[in-house]
Amino acid sequence: IRDALRLLLLSYGDIEVIGEARDGEEAIIRTASCQPEIIVMDINMPRMNGIQATTIIKKSRKQTAIIGLCVIQDTYTIEAFLKAGGLAVVSKQRLEDLRPTIQRACVNRSTAPSGKR
């Protein structure tokens, strides 16, 4: 899935993939070293899920926008992800929604007042 997601993101042409992680723990480590503007985070990962990882990442990287990916978009999962600091949740069955969600995240970052990104 990670390979397919990387290829999809690269196919957009205006997105640079600067890191990947196989689970939430690795996502935290990679975020610290890569310092991405936007993270596309699988919510259901082994060892540490995307909600837990998002909570930890947002404590040190408030300016990083995190978009969640999940198979089943139930209300509990979406609310938990957003409460953790996630920006939006995109269904893996509707990956065509990913690009506009990333674009909205970019617009939100560029229009945020200085120091609040």
Q: What are phi and psi of 65, to 5 degrees?
A: -85, 130
By the 8 A CB rule, do 43 and 49 touch?
yes
Average pLDDT over residues 53-70: 96
What DSSP string describes 7-66? Answer: HHHHHTSS-------SSHHHHHHHHHHH--SEEEEESS-SSS-HHHHHHHHHHH-TT-EE
Confidence at 46, pLDDT banded by 50, 70, 90: confident
Q: What percent of the chain has pLDDT over 70?
A: 92
Per-residue pLDDT reduced to its tens digit, 74-113:
899 999 999 999 999 999 999 999 999 999 998 876 655 5
Specify the pTM: 0.89
